[in-house]
Amino acid sequence: MLQITGAARLLVDETTEIDGGAVVVDGGRVVASGTGGRELLDSPETREPLETLETLETLDATGCIVTPGLVNAHHHLLQSVFRTLPGTRGVPMAEWLPTMARAYGEARIDASLLAASAAVGIAEGLLCGVTTVADHQLNWPADASVADRTAIAEATAAAASRLGGRLVFVRGSARDAPEDAAESAEAIVQALVPRAPGGVSADGMLQVAVGPAGVHSDSRETFELLGEVAARHGLRRRTQANEQVDTAIALERYGKRPLDLLEEWGWLAPDVTIAHLCDVTPDEIDRLAAAGVTATHAPGCDLPMGWGISPIAALRAAGITVGLGTSGGGSNDAGHLLADARLAMQVAPLVGPPVSARAILGMSTRGGATGLGRDELGHLRPGAAGDLCVWDVSGVADAGVADPVAGLLWAAPGRRPKHVVVAGQVVVRDYELVAADERELVAAARARVGR
């Protein structure tokens, strides 16, 4: 059993905050959240008498804010070892793609590369408060066997398991042969989450989803065949759409906008999450809302790539649930979700009304979890997964801050949590990984990539 006590503020969810809050986690789940310390432990919700608390661990959150663990709803973990490559900054997509492809080719995409890159990306996320990451794996070795592709998924899952983070592995496609993508997706489900309803492991630490990169790269057949795999296993579906370049390619190739094609291909539905959505019209927003689609905002990628700014205020006003993602290191060189939350808050007024810090924090937690179909994530109400972050707000960077919750985003752009807990296990303690030495992860990545 783990208790976190003495928090200056406990953010239970996007609408509930408690001064002097405490949280009790047992069996990987929140069993109580509220005010107090040992008296909270003695509440009926904990189901544990005080005399049995010899296994109790306490984290002192004095001077800190406690929030749910962050959910990075859109990442490309492979790119974590391909950051700031020459020729990938300030260039059009037509130049960016082949530059990245050359780097992948030189490094050789295989299970060992994903073991190194995923470990770096997941560790970085944990150190920045990300307890769940959705990895949209799009790039696969040419002419690889189904076993080789499955090994890539297994290596990514093993990295998450070793470090203690939750992983959503999205079997993506970027110009893969449709039959190969579907066959590989089926094999990955069988390898990672066999007999798991909805593609989620029994302990909730691993989930499988499917997702073509977008209509700019994948055919109708790919969308349909991966959709059949999803329907067979109850998987979530995820894709990318309506970056400005995506719209331009769709109009040139099909004479239609991306969302028109997704609707025709059966990919506007409640089990679908669409990332980016920078170039959307009011009519398209209404159609997305009517279809029950969820969205993921990725400003740390969209802005430097010149893809535009998603109108998240309009999406939310229409009733669309919006999550937040960093996207990959090839476009956003930092996997720091809270920094991107700050960016999202700052640029929102450029395309609509401002969005509050609390609303953006809700996107960073509950919003992303909803898009994954994970009701237990993104909040700290009793029954929730025991995922949380302890943020120290007692230093000079927070001096003079009148609203400490808003200050999480407005102040200290490089802020990291002091402690991070996943499923009731402390995975970051006093700003350091518990299960690994980050310097060793960096050394392994450098040795594998060759730079």
Tokens of 112: 């060992």
**H helical segments located in 306-378:** 312-317, 337-347, 357-362, 368-371
Which residues, other chains included, contact 395 with Cβ-Cβ below 8 Å and sequence gap of 6+?
Answer: 412
pLDDT above 80 for 136? yes
In eight-state DSSP terms, residue 385 is B
The strand ranges marked E within 76-217 are 130-137, 166-173, 206-212
133 plus 218 within the same structural domain: yes
Instruction: Work out the angle at residue 317's Cα, subtended by the Cα atoms of residues 12 and 210, and round it to the nearest 5 degrees.
Output: 75
Question: Are 58 and 76 part of one and the same domain?
Answer: no
The CA distance from 148 to 13, in Å, is 41
Give how far the C-alpha of residue 133 lies from the chain's centroid of Cα atoms, to the nearest Å.
4
Cα 222 off chain centre by: 24
Q: Which residues of 275-284 are buried (b: 16+ CB within 10 A; e: fewer)?
A: bbbbbbeeeb
Residue 57's H or E segment, with its range, is strand 57-60
Q: Phi, psi (5° rounding) for residue 157?
A: -65, -40
- One domain, residues 412 and 396: yes
User: Does residue 441 belong to any structural domain of this protein?
Assistant: no
Q: Encoding tokens for residue 274?
A: 């669409």
Residue 449 lies in a domain: no
The span from the first CA to the last CA of the chain, in angstroms, equals 43
Q: Binning pLDDT at 50, 70 and 90, where does residue 55 land?
A: confident
pLDDT score of 43 more than 90? no
Band (406; pLDDT cuts 50, 70, 90): very high
347 domain-assigned: yes
- 265 and 397 both lie in a single domain: no
Are the CB atoms for 224 and 206 separated by under 8 Å?
no
Model pLDDT, residue 14 = 87
Whether 261 and 302 map to the same domain: the answer is: yes
105 with 84, same domain: the answer is yes
Residue 101 sits in the same domain as residue 232: yes
| 448 assigned to some structural domain | no
* Percent of the residues in the chain that have a pLDDT greater than 70, as a whole number: 96
For the CA atoms of 196, 198, 203, 204, the dihedral, rounded to the nearest 10 degrees, stands at 150
Residue 446 in any domain: the answer is no
Return the C-alpha torsion angle 191, 197, 200, 202, nearest 10: -90
Residue 348 lies in a domain: yes
pLDDT over 70 at 368, yes or no: yes
Rg for the chain, CA atoms, rounded: 21
With 60 as the cut, is the pLDDT of residue 318 above it?
yes
Q: In this predicted structure, what is the pLDDT of residue 131?
A: 98
Whether residues 210 and 276 share a domain: the answer is yes
Q: How far apart are CA 229 and CA 188, in angstroms?
A: 11
The answer to whether residues 98 and 55 belong to one domain is: no
- DSSP-assigned beta bridge partners for residue 322: 295
In the predicted structure, residue 50 carries a pLDDT above the cut 60: no
208 & 303 share domain: yes
Q: Which residue has the tokens 């700050």?
A: 342
Task: Provide, rounded to the nearest whole percent, the portion of the chain with pLDDT above 90.
Answer: 91
Do residues 315 and 277 lie in contact, with contact meaning Cβ atoms separated by under 8 Å? Answer: yes
In a domain, 443, yes or no: no
Residue 422 host element (H or E)? strand 419-422
CATH number for the domain harbouring residue 100: 3.20.20.140
Of 184, 129, 143, nearest to 409 (Cα)? 129
The pLDDT tens digits of the residues spanning 64-78 come to 999 999 999 999 999
Q: Structurally, how many domains does the chain consist of?
A: 2
- Hey, which residues does 72 pair with through a beta bridge? 133
CA dihedral 92, 96, 98, 99 (to 10 degrees): 130
Distance between CA atoms of residues 72 and 133, nearest Å = 5
This prediction's pTM: 0.95
Same domain, 216 and 302: yes
Q: Which long-range contacts (CB under 8 A, 24 or more apart) does 30-33 make?
A: 30/380, 30/381, 30/382, 30/383, 30/384, 30/385, 30/386, 31/382, 32/382, 33/380, 33/381, 33/382
Helix (H, G, I), strand (E, B) or coil at 312: helix
Which position has the token pair 């010899």?
A: 54
217-230 pLDDT, tens digit per residue, is 999 999 999 999 99
Query: One-letter amino acid identity for 451?
Result: R
Residue 14's domain spans which residues? 2-68+379-431
- As a whole number of angstroms, the distance between CA 284 and CA 437 comes to 46
Count of CB atoms within 10 A of residue 236's CB?
25
Average pLDDT, integer, range 313-336:
96
Q: Is the distance from CB of 278 to CB of 309 less than 8 angstroms?
A: yes
Does the residue 314 lie in any domain? yes
Q: Which of 352, 371, 390 delimits the end of a domain?
A: 371
Same structural domain, 129 and 275? yes
CATH number of residue 38's parent domain: 2.30.40.10
Q: Are 390 and 131 in contact (CB under 8 A)?
A: no
Number of helices (H), then strands (E), in the chain: 16, 17
